[in-house]
């Protein structure tokens, strides 16, 4: 059924009216199947316009992800990436984590990338959900094998945040900042997030699943499900940014930054990270996973990407993944 729903949506992506009979003919299925699928389309957050009972039109179709367009925009050898695009999946991170053993995905010579038009169970940091609707975001995961132990990968998630900022800037999207460890913000509203999950393969070899979600044009329904203040690229720029183009640029930047990270470690990126930090020098509350709240002034990060906080008891460092952060209440 899902497959038929997505075939219908693809057919309607030209914004024209189609009768249920012509949809059935073109997709070589029964009329009843089409009617049944159309009934379920609004479960995907899509509202079709109906005309004279039996004609349907999708007025605001999404821009579908397309691996050829993504790869042609990467300006690097397209053989570097193995891109798999799902219409519907629970979570792209889950998919890569569950397929690490699969040579086609986890251990081929090229970099595995899994993207989805819609995630049904997108995951965020600290056990949170990550919400997005059909085609309104870029949600993908990339697998990277490090010839290093997990303990040498501190600062990896911060480095990925830098890659995202660089690419957004290259699309003339300015004034985006980072919130430790790796939230991407515009004017304190969340625009994108990074979830990195690490697995030890063998001694001194580890595998990172790097999940990235970027909001492009969230519906009111999706926004209302999110408890944080959020924004998206359409709200910021007033334009529909080409998802395939930005995705390609991001893959190319990620490949290059991850290679440098492997070589030089996070220390190499520390200065740049601080330059994008939206909370540098700010008086903040830091909420630890055990709900303990610490007040302090942010004073940079160290070479491992740990946050440096000046508190009433002195300077302390907090590691990636251990804490969440929020601005001091006025
Ligand atoms: C966060 O800021 O909490 C991290 C959000 C990460 C979301 C992305 S979307 C693609 C990938 N798959 C997931 O389930 N999560 C990440």
Contacts of 268 by beta carbon, 8 Å cutoff, 6+ apart? 260, 261
With 0-12 / 13-18 / 19 or more C-beta atoms within 10 angstroms meaning exposed / middle / buried, residue 95 is: buried
Residue of the CA atom closest to atom 16 of ligand 1:
211
Distance 123 CA to ligand 1 centre (A): 5
Statement: 2-57 belongs to CATH 1.10.630.10: no
CATH superfamily of 67-275: Bira Bifunctional Protein; Domain 2 (3.30.930.10)
Evaluate if residue 324 carries a pLDDT over 60: no
CATH class of the domain defined by 279-325: mainly beta
**β-pair partners for 287:** 293, 324
How many C-beta neighbours within 10 Å does residue 317 have?
A: 12
Distance 168 CA to ligand 1 centre (A): 18
- Please identify which residue in the block is written with the tokens 């899902």: 2
**Per-residue tokens: 31:** 């009329």
pLDDT tens, residue by residue, 78-105: 889 999 999 999 999 999 999 987 766 6
* Range 145-159 average pLDDT: 94
Q: Please report, for the chain, the start and end positions of each structural domain, with discontinuous segments joined by +.
A: 2-57, 67-275, 279-325
Q: Which atom of ligand 1 is nearest to the CA of 123?
A: 14
Q: Please give the mean pLDDT across all residues of the chain.
A: 92
Least confident of 46-60, 94-108, 173-187, 193-207: 94-108
Residue of the CA atom closest to atom 3 of ligand 1:
124
**pLDDT at residue 103 in the model:** 66
């Amino acid at each position: 059924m899902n497959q038929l729903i997505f075939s219908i949506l693809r057919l309607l992506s030209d914004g024209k009216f189609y009768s249920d009979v012509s949809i059935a003919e073109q997709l070589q299925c029964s009329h009843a199947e089409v009617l049944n699928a159309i009934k379920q389309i609004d479960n995907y957050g899509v509202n079709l316009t109906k005309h004279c009972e039996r004609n349907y039109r999708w007025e605001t179709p999404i821009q579908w992800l397309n691996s050829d367009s993504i790869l042609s925009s990467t300006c690097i050898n397209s053989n570097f990436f193995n891109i798999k695009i799902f219409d519907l999946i629970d979570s792209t991170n889950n998919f890569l984590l569950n397929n690490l053993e699969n040579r086609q995905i986890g251990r081929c010579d090229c970099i595995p990338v899994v993207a989805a038009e819609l995630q049904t169970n997108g995951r965020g940091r600290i056990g949170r959900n990550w919400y997005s609707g059909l085609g309104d975001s870029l949600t993908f995961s990339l697998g990277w094998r490090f010839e290093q132990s997990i303990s040498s990968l501190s600062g990896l998630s911060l480095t990925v945040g830098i890659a995202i900022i660089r690419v957004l800037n290259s699309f003339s999207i300015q004034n985006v900042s980072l919130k430790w460890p790796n939230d991407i913000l515009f004017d304190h509203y969340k625009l994108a997030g990074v979830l990195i999950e690490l697995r030890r393969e063998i001694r001194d070899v580890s595998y990172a699943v790097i999940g990235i979600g970027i909001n492009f044009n969230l519906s009111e329904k999706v926004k209302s499900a999110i408890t944080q203040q959020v924004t998206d690229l359409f709200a910021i720029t007033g334009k529909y940014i080409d998802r395939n183009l930005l995705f390609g640029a991001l893959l190319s930047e990620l490949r290059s930054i991850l290679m440098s990270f492997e070589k030089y470690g996070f220390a190499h990126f520390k200065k740049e990270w601080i330059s994008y930090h939206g909370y540098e020098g700010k008086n903040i509350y830091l909420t630890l996973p055990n709900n303990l709240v610490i007040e302090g002034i942010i004073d940079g990060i160290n070479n491992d990407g740990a946050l440096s906080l000046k508190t009433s008891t002195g300077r302390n460092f907090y590691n990636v993944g251990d804490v969440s952060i929020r601005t001091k209440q006025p």
